[in-house]
Amino acid sequence: MSNVVIKAENVSKQYRLGQVGTGTLSHDLKRWWALARGKEDPFLKVGVENERTQKATSEYAWALRDVNFEISQGDTVGIIGKNGAGKSTLLKLLSRVTGPTTGEIKIKGRIASLLEVGTGFNPELTGRDNIYMNGTILGMTKKEINRKFDEIVDFSGVEMYIDTPVKRYSSGMYVRLAFGVAAHLEPEILIVDEVLAVGDAEFQKKCLGKMGDVASHGRTVIFVSHNMQAVQSLCRSTMYMKAGRLIETGPTERVISNYLNREVKNCIAQRWELADAPGNNRVQLLSAELNVDNPENNNIIDVGTTFDLKFEIYNHVEGANLNLSLVLNTTAGVCVFNVTTPATILSKGHHTSVLTIPGRLLNDDVYTISLYIVRDTSAVEHVIHDLLTFEVVDEQRQGAWFGKWIGAVRPTTLSFTLT
């Protein structure tokens, strides 16, 4: 007997843009007349691709188009892609929240889904009541739920509020309890969307550990996340989606590498006029740029090259106590370092900040920069994620392990100033 628990065959999902439902009465009559004559739905031919940045040229759009895959029992499968790629739509189809427009999905086993905060919970019921309700929906007996109840409450960390209606929970408390229920009531298939981003770091670590534990007991986990590090640590195989289509399926490391190479583009300079600059009425960021001395190609930096990161801000408040905090991440989500300028009392007007990155500090990889503007050393005035993106290459690589070793162990002191 086959151990395939999920099989998708030519699955597509079409939505009508700007409308609730499938369309007007005239559209429904045309569909009925076509089906009565044994012909294809005429509106399946007119949908546009699911590219959210493009202007629509049709009333209909394909959220998914001709998706085919198989998932076996015990697999841990990641699904990655940019916003609007069709990941959440696919999970809704797998969870039976909605049905496919064309194609078929075959599922063997009981599914527990955590698609977004609050899915499957009645806000008027208490945490306790929702545990029993969700367990019943999953096909559990009251005896089985009783056996798992204390473990769920302990995992979620909301024991004080377990008899409080969940409408009074914060989003973090909501997702803690929802994940606890989904993971502990022994589904054959556990589906988790990006909702773990709501929780704090400690809870996210617990969730990833629990999903790994679920998979180790022969159950299937499907995990959608923009955190490439989390996907790589949990999932053996990964599906990469783009504009509603399944682009690639395979070993996680290979698929993530191909995804990053296709989707991540260099952005080494951004500038704004004061009227449009990010920030608030106290401080704004006017520019951010990466500078290399006499580069042959300013978009690509060799591992031995020294370069500067320069930022310009406009301070609206005389005597403000400000500092900048820079976080450098790999595109896989790994934090390389965080460096902060000394807190400085600034006059009203333009100010600049420069960080010099010495050669041989970074490995060959693609990096993103997030910048925090901080007041009084603790209050974040504004944060800009993925402000700059750049690639570091090793044009004279002497072996992968050697290049990684140099970047990983070389000690250095970074100078980050604000004047």
Same domain, 200 and 289: no
The domain that holds 309 is classified in CATH as 2.70.50.60
Identify the CA nearest to 359 among candidates 399, 295, 407.
407
Average pLDDT over residues 145-167: 91
Burial of residue 390 (number of CB atoms within 10 Å: 0-12, 13-18, 19+): buried
Last residue of a domain, one of 247, 262, 277: 262
Same domain, 280 and 195: no
The domain that holds 151 is classified in CATH as 3.40.50.300
Same domain, 154 and 245: yes
pTM for the full predicted model: 0.62
Same domain, 237 and 352: no
Burial of residue 406 (number of CB atoms within 10 Å: 0-12, 13-18, 19+): middle
| 49-105 pLDDT, tens digit each | 545 444 444 567 888 999 999 999 999 999 998 878 899 899 999 988 888 989 999
For residue 396, what pLDDT is reported? 64
| 287-320 pLDDT, tens digit each | 999 998 655 555 568 888 889 999 999 999 999 9
How many other β-carbons are positioned within 10 Å of the β-carbon of residue 344? 16
Residue 308 near residue 359 (C-beta atoms within 8 A) = no
Same domain, 252 and 280: no
Same domain, 257 and 273: no
Handedness of CA 106, 108, 110, 113 (dihedral sign): negative
Last residue of a domain, one of 236, 262, 288: 262
How many other β-carbons are positioned within 10 Å of the β-carbon of residue 296? 7
| 343-364 pLDDT, tens digit each | 999 999 999 999 999 988 998 8
d(CA 130, CA 304): 57
The residue ranking higher by pLDDT, 114 or 411, is 114
pLDDT category of residue 386 using cuts at 50, 70 and 90: confident
| 123-132 pLDDT, tens digit each | 899 999 999 9
Same domain, 226 and 337: no
Burial of residue 57 (number of CB atoms within 10 Å: 0-12, 13-18, 19+): exposed
Same domain, 183 and 88: yes
For residue 293, what pLDDT is reported? 67
Same domain, 154 and 69: yes
d(CA 98, CA 362): 46
Q: Which stretch of 8-17, 23-32, 178-187 has the lowest confidence by average pLDDT? A: 23-32
pLDDT category of residue 35 using cuts at 50, 70 and 90: low
Last residue of a domain, one of 242, 262, 282: 262
The DSSP code sequence of 157-185 is T-GGGTTSBGGGS-HHHHHHHHHHHHHHS
Compute φ and ψ for 329, nearest 5 degrees: -120, 155
β-pair partners for 357: 307
| 162-177 pLDDT, tens digit each | 999 988 988 778 888 8
For residue 150, what pLDDT is reported? 92
- Whole-number average pLDDT of the chain: 82
d(CA 249, CA 8): 13
Where helices occur in 59-170 by DSSP H, the ranges are 87-94, 127-137, 142-156
HSE (CB half, 13 Å, CA atoms) of 47? 25
Same domain, 252 and 285: no
Same domain, 96 and 111: yes
| Confidence check: pLDDT of 20 > 50 | no
Residue 197's domain comprises 4-262
User: Letter for the amino acid at 18?
Assistant: G
For residue 19, what pLDDT is reported? 47
Same domain, 285 and 405: yes
Identify the CA nearest to 107 among candidates 188, 20, 210.
188
